[in-house]
Amino acid sequence: MRNKRETHLHFVGIGGIGMSGIAEVFLNQGYRVTGSDLSESEVTRRLAQLGARIAIGHHAENVPGAHVVVVSSAIRDDNTELLAAQRLRIPVIPRAEMLGELMRGKTGIAVAGSHGKTTTTSMLASVMGSAGLDPTVVVGGKVDSLGGNAKLGQGTFVVAEADESDGSFLHLPAMIGIITNIDNDHLDHFGNIAAIEDAFVGFVGKLPFYGVAAVCGEDPGVRRCLHRWTKPVATYGLSEEWDFFAKNIRPEGLQSSFEIFGRNAPGTSHRRLGEIRIRVPGKHNVLNALAVTTVAMHLDLPFSTVQNGLAEYGGVRRRFEVKYLDTARNRVIVDDYGHHPTEIASTLAAARGYWPGRILTIFQPHRYTRTLHCHDGFLSAFHQSDLVLITDIYPGGEDPIHGVTASALTADIQKVTSAEVQYVGELATAQARALELIKDGDMVLCLGAGSITRLAEQLAKEIAP
């Protein structure tokens, strides 16, 4: 039997946020890790510094010598490295199955949901770290407290973000699950909301009878599934009908404080657990903190560790990340990953609760399929913004779809909103237009899952004194 140092794992698309975290944990466990990606990035440079051998570009010669080839759902069937692995009869393992291997022999906690997974996963990691549990963590975003998007812990827990986009989260042998919400995303894979709900029913069905799923009762998709789940479920939300709920929510700038009440089982009395303070804005983040609290109470952690862990939580890159703040001129630039209508509406609600002045939103639609399937949701997502600039669609590896364009989406949004909506095309044009428009008292909110993060950074440099 090979030892870890002799076992060679090759990751195709290693620079992806989901792949890189798994690669890092295996690297830190002593495995030999190689990988390839189409371009060099901060992520690939970090992995190289940790000892991985990274090739830029996908080439068949990258594969020989590997004992296992790991691929994500983003890798096409005609990828040259995938074909080489098949020709050499090297096992090809989906990313989610490899994440499942990390959970074997451990107590797995899988954080699922259409939105809020990354924040909730990193919040839970902070609380469990505060409790001294030292979990292994794999998350879909860069967390400053982790120094990246993964950490190899010495404890018995693995906390992982579970990707539902292609149904692969059903590979995870978790004991505890979280479902933040169930929304109509990734319709290119599922086809309709009923199939998405079926997948989440299957996710809970995979949990053991002694586990639990913490689910958000505020979410309509979750409520539709409640009667279908046959494994233990604990609910959370903003009213007393749920097992854990928050009240007296007080926005305080970029922070929020609130009280949490909980009960051991439906039908029993709630008791006040205490007050929580988090350093991220918005009702959606209150719900994320409630999900974490629900799991922590199931694990019998002291509530004080929940308070401490959530108070210490400093956020995730590109989740309402303040890139520039000028208190003298009252101007701020925020970068956010939100790219689905629900995420956009939640982020704008948080922005409106925090910022008293004008909000200028720059949105880069992400993928043609999402722009098509979520078209109607986008129409009402921007109503809390004063001005919206829409760039060209970021393809994310997809081919264009006839009639699905950013200019058409702009025209449709403009018909139904009081905000001024402009199509600006390329990011360079968006930058020039934003610099023309921004004035004292403005928030500039850059939204999208593609290359728009570079625009937020560039705007911050341009307007800094």
Closest by CA to 49, choosing from 24, 22, 18, is 24
- Residue 60 sits in a domain whose CATH number is 3.40.50.720
Choice among 34, 44, 118, 342 that is catalytic:
118
- Shared domain for 142 and 222, answered yes or no, is yes
398 labelled catalytic: no
Residue 166 three-state SS: coil
- Shared domain for 338 and 402, answered yes or no, is yes
Q: Range of 204's domain?
A: 104-312
- Shared domain for 123 and 61, answered yes or no, is no
Q: What is the pLDDT of residues 105-135, one digit of tens each?
A: 899 999 999 888 889 999 999 999 999 999 9
Choice among 117, 142, 283, 323 that is catalytic:
117
Q: With a threshold of 0.85, does the pTM exceed it? A: no
In the chain, the amino acid numbered 196 is I
- Shared domain for 285 and 337, answered yes or no, is no
Closest by CA to 366, choosing from 193, 125, 144, 185, is 185
Q: Say whether pLDDT at 273 is over 90.
A: yes
Read off the pLDDT band of 321 (50, 70, 90): confident
Q: What is the pLDDT of residues 401-440, one digit of tens each?
A: 999 999 999 999 999 888 889 999 999 999 999 999 999 9
- Shared domain for 335 and 432, answered yes or no, is yes
- Rounded to whole angstroms, the Cα distance separating 31 from 66 reads 11
Choice among 24, 81, 161, 321 that is catalytic:
161
- Shared domain for 119 and 208, answered yes or no, is yes
Choosing from 46, 65, 95, the residue where a domain stops is 95
- Shared domain for 108 and 85, answered yes or no, is no
Choosing from 47, 67, 95, the residue where a domain stops is 95
118 labelled catalytic: yes
- Shared domain for 85 and 126, answered yes or no, is no
Q: Give pLDDT, residue 164.
A: 75
Sheet with strand 68-71: strands edge to edge: 53-56, 32-37, 8-12, 68-71, 92-94
Please provide residue 332's backbone torsions phi and psi, each rounded to the nearest 5 degrees. Answer: -145, 145
Beta-carbon contacts of residue 350 (< 8 Å; ≥ 6 apart): 281, 282, 283, 284, 285, 320
- Residue 395 sits in a domain whose CATH number is 3.90.190.20
Choosing from 36, 68, 95, the residue where a domain stops is 95
117 labelled catalytic: yes
